[in-house]
Chains A and B, each alone.
Chain A
Amino acid sequence: MSKTDLLIVGAGPAGMTAAITARRYGIGVLVVDDQTAPGGQIWRSVETQAASERGDILGRTYQDGKATTDAFRASGAHYEPRTQLWQVEPGYRAFVSHDGKARTIEAKAIILATGAQERPAPFPGWTLPGVLTVGAAQVLLKTAGQIPAKPVWVAGCGPLPLLYIVQLLNAGGQIAGYLDTTPAGNHWAALQYLPRALRGAGALLKGLAWKAILRHRRVPVIRHVVELEAHGSDRIESLSYRTADGREETVSADHLLVHEGVVPNVHVPLGLGCAVEWRDQQDCYVPVLDPWGETSKAGIFVAGDGAGIAGAKAAQCRGALAAHRLAVQLGYADEQNMLKDASCVQKSLARELALRPFLDTLFRPRSRIFSPTDDTVICRCEEVTAGEIRAMAQIGGCGPNQIKAFTRAGMGPCQGRQCGYTVTRILAELENCPASEIGFYRVRPPLKPVTLGELATLDQEGEVV
Chain B
Amino acid sequence: MFRKLHEPAEAVTVYVEGKPVVAEPGENLAAVLLRQEAIWSRPTPVKGSRRAPYCMIGVCFDCLARVDGVASVQTCMMPVRDGMTVEHQQRRRCLPS
Interface residues of A (CB under 8 A from B): 34-36, 41, 45, 48, 53-54, 57, 82, 117-118, 127-133, 135-137, 139-140, 143-150, 171-172, 234-235, 254, 265, 380-383, 412-414, 417-418, 448-449
Contacts and interface: CB of A to CB of B under 8 A. Distances in A.
B5 A133 contact: no
Contacts of B1: 148-150, 254
Contact of B56 (A36, A82, A132, A417): A132
A41 B49 CA distance: 29
Contacts of A417: 59-60
Contacts of A448: 58
Given A129-B40, A146-B31, A140 B57 contact: no
B49 A127 contact: yes
Nearest to B3: A149
A133 B53 CA distance: 10
A98 to B, nearest CB: 12
A349 to B, nearest CB: 25
B78 to A, nearest CB: 9
Interface in B22-79: 24, 26-28, 31, 34-35, 39-41, 44, 46-47, 49-62, 64, 72, 77, 79
B28 A144 contact: yes
Nearest to A45: B26
A14 B55 CA distance: 21
A131 B24 CA distance: 24
Contacts of A35: 77
B35 A146 contact: yes
A373 B53 CA distance: 24
21 contacts: A48-B26, A117-B59, A129-B50, A135-B57, A140-B31, A140-B34, A143-B27, A144-B24, A144-B31, A145-B6, A146-B4, A146-B5, A147-B2, A147-B3, A148-B2, A235-B39, A235-B40, A254-B1, A414-B61, A418-B59, A449-B72
Going nearest first, the 8 A-B pairs with the smallest beta carbon separation are A129-B52, A136-B56, A144-B31, A144-B27, A413-B61, A139-B56, A149-B3, A146-B2
Given A117-B59, A129-B40, A140-B2, 17 more contacts: A36-B79, A53-B6, A117-B55, A131-B54, A132-B52, A136-B54, A136-B57, A143-B26, A145-B4, A145-B5, A145-B6, A146-B5, A147-B2, A380-B61, A383-B49, A413-B64, A417-B59
B58 A34 contact: yes
B5 A135 contact: no
A11 to B, nearest CB: 14
Contacts of B39: 129-130, 235
Given A34-B58, A140-B34, A148-B2, A383 B53 contact: no
A325 B24 CA distance: 43
Q: What is the size category of the interface that chain B forms with chain A? A: 35 or more
B77 to A, nearest CB: 6
Interface SS, B side: loop
B35 to A, nearest CB: 7
Contacts of A150: 1
A171 B54 contact: no
Contact of B46 (A117, A254, A382, A449): A382
A133 B49 CA distance: 19
B31 A380 contact: no
A171 B49 contact: no
A412 B39 CA distance: 22
Contacts of B40: 129, 234-235
A137 B55 CA distance: 8
Contact of B60 (A137, A380, A449): A380
Given A129-B50, A132-B53, A136-B54, A418 B5 contact: no
B46 A383 contact: yes
Contacts of A127: 49, 51, 54, 62
Contacts of A171: 5
Contacts of A143: 26-28, 31
Contact of A413 (B4, B27, B34, B72): B72
B50 to A, nearest CB: 5
Contact of A412 (B6, B55, B59, B61): B61
A136 B52 CA distance: 12
A118 B54 CA distance: 11
Given A127-B49, A144-B27, A144-B28, A172 B5 contact: yes
